[in-house]
Amino acid sequence: MREVAGGGQSLSGFVGAVASSAPTPGGGSVAAHAGALAAALAQMVAGLTIGRKKYASVDAEMKEIALAAVTLGNRLSALVEEDARSYTAVSDAYKMAKEPVEAAVARSAAITIALLGASRVPLETARACADVCELAERAAARGNSNAVSDAGVAALLGEAACRGAAYNVRINVAALEDKSAGQALVDEVQQLVDRAARHAAATTAVVERAIQ
């Protein structure tokens, strides 16, 4: 995780970019990056379990978790940049000419397309984060008990990232002239938040039992 969004940017550079007054990278990119970190933790826990004699019965499952975590982490890292690009598309659409009437119609259509696009990117982030939370629960329940707290952090971070992504879906849909055009996206992301919360709660319960 020393480079962010595949562009060679250091983590400190990414943090600095977020802290700047520029609108991107913003909350959507941060949510995706947090999800990628959660996936990395789930992968780590699986890696600390694979090959251990004590956990031979779950070796195959941990290899599956590790592979899935790599895939999700890579996708979430890519979504960091995709979220920033989707914001730029919305901003550009709002800058289009409002006159004459034909231009206004074209502008309205472009805004709708851009807002829906900017809603679908964090929706994908939320999907991936919910999947990460599930991996974290499995890793906590059956992985190396010495790393159970790491699985707990993965689940909590994944849930927070999922909720953050959901905010970005909802705020873009709320900006639509016809909000019904994005209602299905809002409905789906709420289901994903609920799913992430269930897995995070289950993971937390495993961690609490283990560290008492």
The CATH number for 71's domain is: 1.20.120.680
Domain tally for the chain?
Answer: 1
- Mean pLDDT along residues 103-127: 98
pLDDT for position 8: 58
Percent of the chain scored above 70 by pLDDT?
96
Kindly state the average pLDDT of the residues 116-127.
Answer: 98
What pLDDT is recorded for position 10? Answer: 85
For residue 62, the enclosing domain spans 3-211
Among 18-27, 35-44, 105-114, the minimum mean pLDDT is found in: 18-27
Identify the band that residue 5 occupies on the pLDDT scale cut at 50, 70 and 90.
Answer: very low
Q: Give the model's pLDDT for residue 1.
A: 38
**Structure token digits, residue 153:** 């952090």
The answer to whether residue 6 scores a pLDDT higher than 50 is no
